[in-house]
Amino acid sequence: MQNNENKVALVSGANTGVGFQIAKALVENSYTVYVGSRDLVKGEAAVQELGGSAKAIQLDITDSGSIRSAVEIVEKEYGYLTLLVNNAAISHAGIPGRTLEEIMGAQRASIAPIDELKTVWDTNVFGTLALT
């Protein structure tokens, strides 16, 4: 039986940015929060900052083995999730350090490198579906 004392959430890409802020809000609202992070060290650093009932969990949504391991941990420790927040995403897969204008310009359909688009879709679409 789930009640206010055992709400369990998993937030993907929660070591930074919007995902971190969502995890923070959930901790403040009495959730146990799995802080999904590709790099467990970054996840553990985020958990230190979040406190409460945050728990770091290694999770790369493009890696089926990583997803399976995370699911096994959740199943073993709680057996359910109250909430899944599909936050992890990438905005592009090109050269890092470019301005937003340069990134947007390089994503026009007529010139966007297909390999880069596939990488973005692998994360944002298929990774998200795989985790769900």
Ligand X SMILES: NC(=O)c1ccc[n+]([C@@H]2O[C@H](COP(=O)([O-])OP(=O)(O)OC[C@H]3O[C@@H](n4cnc5c(N)ncnc54)[C@H](OP(=O)(O)O)[C@@H]3O)[C@@H](O)[C@H]2O)c1
Q: Which of 37, 73, 31 is CA-nearest to residue 52?
A: 31
Stated as kind and residue range, the H or E segment containing 108 is none
DSSP secondary structure code for residue 82 in this structure:
S
**Candidate segments 55-63, 68-76, 95-103, 104-112, binder of ligand X by CB under 6 A:** 55-63
Instruction: Report if residue 16 touches ligand X, rule: CB under 6 A.
Output: yes
Q: Check binding of 32 to ligand X (CB under 6 A).
A: no
Length of the chain: 132
Instruction: Tell me which of 9, 47, 85, 127 binds ligand X, using CB under 6 A.
Output: 127
Answer yes or no: are the C-beta atoms of 90 and 123 closer than 8 Å: yes
Contact flags string 68-107 toward ligand X, x per CB under 6 A? -------------------xxxx-----------------
